[in-house]
Each structure stands twice: as structure tokens, then as C-alpha cells.
């Protein structure tokens, strides 16, 4: 799920920092791992230099167009599926009799989504208004999962998403509202929005609500570029009074551990456990009562066991479906043809601007296809029946993703 930024390089060492006084923690850590860093060639560096000369500290980057070589070849709408990559961690959670154990299972699902990232400092495509991504998961036991995400707003950018596996009694939905700012030698993205997890087999639990950490691309003017998760997110279940304040720790120049996390789990006012480790390696839970430890997720050992998703072939997709919409850009990135990539990206964005102008001229507003906003939350325009078989049939037809006969 990492990689929501643009990047720059050590090419900028010696560049004047816009605010003339750099914060001590604004640079990149000194002992980062190769896959988490980027170094650009001279041509790429000159483009970033030109871009950054136009920026000011604190500037909102939502309207800034970044060069194509910093892009990961997939849309943000598809990137969200990283959190559905290890379903075994949450399937069956409703069968646990202890509410605290169910809460931990939800935490496992969430924490296992962060290790998936491209090499270096990359960002997925910014979805255009009305763009959508859909896919189906076919699990070994014959059950299925369905996912749909849609860009429901352009300014501010809002991505709404919905996942359901009727047979496994799980729903995950929410929205992301990223806000990026230029900070001098770094770019920050504040990840507003939330994940809402519902265990259909335990309606008395209500929702498990999880917010997101912020992200930082450091060292874009001088030093080594690196991508970090930082600050605190919150997981809670109000029905049972369960809360986990989870800190994603950024590493300083001289101390700390890269990709570290730490958190306390509370049941009402009583601390019942703690979470620690590294989201890129191993994360553990320690019980306050028994002092026993258990692994929540081992990204080194189990990170490659990602559940594949089935997506319609591009020639069967609609024109505003992510993979087809960005297909020329994706191919150009794979071919490392920056000029073709820039042209392909501009073609999509120019067409989007013209479409918005046409709507505005007609006095009309864009109406999302799959989601509707209710009380400030984006929800799917469909209600899932309680019967798993009927629910799977209905969702499959709604998304045109009906599984083949078994």
C-alpha cells in the first residue's frame, strides 16, 4: 500500500531549500533498505529540479502534475486491494467467542496490507473522476470475494471502495482522501478517511473503524530519497470499547528503527496488550495479562502469499475502467519510454478536463455510479442480502463479475 508520492534524488545535494532553514527530521534516514530508496538519472533529476522550483513550503500538491517516471504502473483504486491480499488473517474472525480476539484479527488484516510496495519511491496514478476498478477473488475453498472502487470526487480527491465476501461473512469499505504538501526536503501525504470492517456473522460487534497513518517522501532535495509511514492511526470498536492507538515511527538521523510500529490495545480504560515490530518484517502482539507473544504477520515469511485477483481482460473493460483507461501509460512505463508515458498521461487528463468543462457548461454535476454519500460516508448503491448464495449472485451481477459455474 506504500508509495503515494513523487520522488527526487541525491542529484539535489546543495540545492537551496525553499524555507532556507531545514528541519532536523526532514531528511532521509541514513540506513534505509535498497527497495525503499530511489536515485534518479540526470535527465530525471533536471525535470524534478524544474518542478520543485515552482513549489513553496506548505503548498497543496493536489493540482500539481508530477512526471511519469515517479509513477507505479497502476491506479490508486487498484492499489487499495493490497489490504485484501491476505484474507486468511480475517476469515473466520466471527467464530471467535472473545471480542478481544476478534479485534486482534481485524488488526492483523490491516497490518498485513502495508508491506506490498514497488521498489523505490513511487506513487500510483491519481484516479480521474468517474474512474473505477473492479475485481473478483476466487478462494481455494470455492468461496469468492468482490471488490469495487470508484473515484467519486476530483477536488478534493476521494476514492470510495467496497469489498465483500458473502460466504466468509466479511465486508470492508471506506474512503480515502489524500492531501499532499511540499515541506522543503520532503513531501507529506495526510491520509484522511477510514476503513470500516464488518463481521457479518457478528452483527452485535457493529463496525471496526481504522484510520490511516501519514506518509512521507524524504530527501527529495538532498540526501537519499526514502518513503516512510509516520504518525498515529487508530483502530476501534465502539460496541465493545476496544481501541488500539498505533504509532508508525519515522526514523531520525541517529536513532530509531526503520519501518517500526508500536501500539497499545485497551479494553475501555484497561490496557490488555501491545503491538510492536516492523511493518516491513515481523509484527507481534504481547498480552498484558500473560506476557505471552504471538506473531501478527511475518512479511518476510508470508508476504509472498498474496491472493490473486481476477480482472476482466482489458478489451472487455469499459473505457473508464482503470487498467483500460491507463493502458497506454502503463505500457510506456513498462517500456521505459518517458516521452510516450507523458503523452499517454496527458491524453487521459486532458480528456478528463474537457469532460468536466462540458458538465459545468450544462450546469450538471458528476453522479457516481457505484457509491452514494450518506451522512458524510460513501457507501455502495447496493444492499447485501443476508443469504450468502443470494448475496454472491446479486453482487456478481451488479459488478458483472459472476464466477463461472463450479
Contact assessment for residue 156 and residue 179, using Cβ atoms and an 8 Å cutoff: yes
The highest-confidence range among 120-124, 140-144, 220-224, by mean pLDDT, is 140-144
| Dihedral angle computed from the Cα positions of residues 202, 303, 245 and 79, in that order, rounded to the nearest 10 degrees | -80
pLDDT reported for residue 342: 87
Residue 132 has pLDDT above 60, yes or no: yes
Q: Is residue 55 very low, low, confident or very high in pLDDT (cuts 50, 70, 90)?
A: low
- The Cα 130–Cα 80 span in angstroms is 17
pLDDT reported for residue 175: 96
Cell of 77: 483504486
Residue 12 has pLDDT above 50, yes or no: no
- Distance in Å from the first CA to the final CA of the chain: 32
Question: Residues in the chain, how many?
Answer: 406
Q: What sign does the dihedral 27-29-35-36 (CA atoms) show?
A: negative
Residue 264 has pLDDT above 60, yes or no: yes
156 cis-preceded (ω within 30 degrees of 0): yes
pLDDT reported for residue 169: 96
pLDDT reported for residue 186: 73
Q: What average pLDDT does this structure show over 222-234?
A: 79
Q: Is residue 227 very low, low, confident or very high in pLDDT (cuts 50, 70, 90)?
A: confident
* Higher-confidence position of 170 and 35: 170
pLDDT reported for residue 10: 32
* Higher-confidence position of 168 and 229: 168
Q: Is residue 405 very low, low, confident or very high in pLDDT (cuts 50, 70, 90)?
A: confident
- The Cα 237–Cα 5 span in angstroms is 31
Residue 381 CB contacts under 8 Å (≥ 6 apart), including other chains:
369, 370, 371, 372
CA distances (Å), origin 231, targets 54, 122, 188, 250, 263: 28, 20, 11, 8, 11
pLDDT reported for residue 57: 56
> What phi and psi values does residue 393 have, to the nearest 5 degrees?
-65, -45
> What phi and psi values does residue 162 have, to the nearest 5 degrees?
-150, 130
Q: Is residue 2 very low, low, confident or very high in pLDDT (cuts 50, 70, 90)?
A: low
CA 209 to chain centre: 15
Contact assessment for residue 165 and residue 198, using Cβ atoms and an 8 Å cutoff: no
Q: Is residue 30 very low, low, confident or very high in pLDDT (cuts 50, 70, 90)?
A: low
* Higher-confidence position of 152 and 57: 152
Q: What is the pLDDT of residues 33-48, one digit of tens each?
A: 555 544 444 444 444 5
Q: Is residue 62 very low, low, confident or very high in pLDDT (cuts 50, 70, 90)?
A: low
Q: What average pLDDT does this structure show over 65-78?
A: 78
* Higher-confidence position of 224 and 380: 380
Residue 129 has pLDDT above 70, yes or no: yes
Prediction pTM value: 0.85
* Higher-confidence position of 58 and 146: 146
Residue 8 has pLDDT above 60, yes or no: no
Q: Across all residues in the chain, what is the average pLDDT?
A: 84
Q: What average pLDDT does this structure show over 98-113?
A: 95
- The Cα 51–Cα 181 span in angstroms is 14
Residue 79 has pLDDT above 90, yes or no: yes
Residue 293 has pLDDT above 90, yes or no: yes
* Higher-confidence position of 163 and 220: 163
Taking Cα atoms as reference points, which of 185, 50, 53, 216 lies closest to residue 121? 216
Share of the chain above pLDDT 90, in %: 62
Amino acid at each position: 500500500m506504500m508509495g503515494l508520492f513523487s520522488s527526487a534524488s541525491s542529484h539535489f545535494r546543495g540545492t537551496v531549500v525553499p524555507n532556507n532553514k531545514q528541519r532536523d527530521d526532514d531528511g532521509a534516514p541514513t540506513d534505509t533498505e535498497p527497495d525503499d530508496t530511489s536515485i534518479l538519472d540526470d535527465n530525471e533529476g533536471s525535470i524534478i529540479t524544474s518542478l520543485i522550483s515552482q513549489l513553496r513550503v506548505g503548498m497543496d500538491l493536489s493540482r500539481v502534475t508530477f512526471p511519469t517516471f515517479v509513477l507505479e504502473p497502476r491506479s490508486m483504486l487498484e492499489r487499495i486491494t493490497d489490504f485484501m491480499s491476505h484474507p486468511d488473517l480475517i476469515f473466520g474472525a466471527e467464530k471467535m467467542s472473545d471480542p478481544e480476539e476478534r479485534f486482534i484479527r481485524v488488526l492483523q488484516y490491516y497490518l498485513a496490507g502495508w508491506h506490498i510496495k514497488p521498489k523505490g519511491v513511487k506513487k500510483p496514478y491519481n484516479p480521474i473522476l468517474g474512474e473505477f476498478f473492479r475485481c473478483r477473488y476466487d478462494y481455494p475453498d470455492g468461496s469468492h470475494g468482490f471488490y469495487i472502487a470508484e473515484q467519486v470526487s476530483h477536488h478534493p480527491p476521494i476514492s470510495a471502495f467496497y469489498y465483500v465476501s458473502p460466504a466468509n461473512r466479511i465486508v470492508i469499505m471506506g474512503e480515502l482522501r489524500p492531501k499532499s504538501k511540499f515541506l522543503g526536503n520532503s513531501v507529506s501525504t495526510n491520509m484522511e478517511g477510514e476503513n470500516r470492517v464488518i463481521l457479518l456473522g457478528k452483527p452485535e460487534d457493529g463496525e471496526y473503524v481504522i484510520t490511516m497513518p501519514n506518509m512521507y517522501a524524504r530527501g527529495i532535495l538532498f540526501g537519499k530519497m526514502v518513503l516512510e509511514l509516520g504518525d498515529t492511526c487508530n483502530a476501534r470498536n465502539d460496541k465493545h470499547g476496544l481501541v488500539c492507538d498505533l504509532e508508525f515511527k519515522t526514523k531520525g538521523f541517529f536513532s530509531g528503527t526503520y519501518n517500526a510500529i508500536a501500539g497499545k490495545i485497551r479494553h475501555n480504560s484497561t490496557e490488555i496488550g501491545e503491538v510492536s515490530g516492523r511493518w516491513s518484517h515481523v509484527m507481534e502482539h504481547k498480552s498484558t495479562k500473560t506476557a505471552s507473544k504471538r506473531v501478527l504477520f511475518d512479511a518476510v515469511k508470508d508476504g509472498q502469499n498474496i491472493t490473486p485477483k481476477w480482472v476482466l481482460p482489458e478489451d472487455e473493460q469499459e473505457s473508464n475502467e482503470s487498467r483500460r483507461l491507463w493502458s497506454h501509460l502503463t505500457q510506456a512505463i513498462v517500456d521505459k519510454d518517458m516521452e510516450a508515458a507523458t503523452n499517454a498521461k496527458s491524453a487521459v487528463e486532458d480528456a478528463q478536463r474537457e469532460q468536466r468543462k462540458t458538465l459545468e457548461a450544462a450546469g450538471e454535476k458528476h453522479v457516481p455510479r457505484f457509491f452514494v454519500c450518506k451522512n458524510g460516508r460513501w457507501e455502495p448503491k447496493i444492499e447485501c442480502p443476508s443469504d450468502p448464495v443470494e448475496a454472491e449472485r446479486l453482487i456478481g451481477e451488479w459488478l458483472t463479475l459472476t464466477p463461472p459455474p463450479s
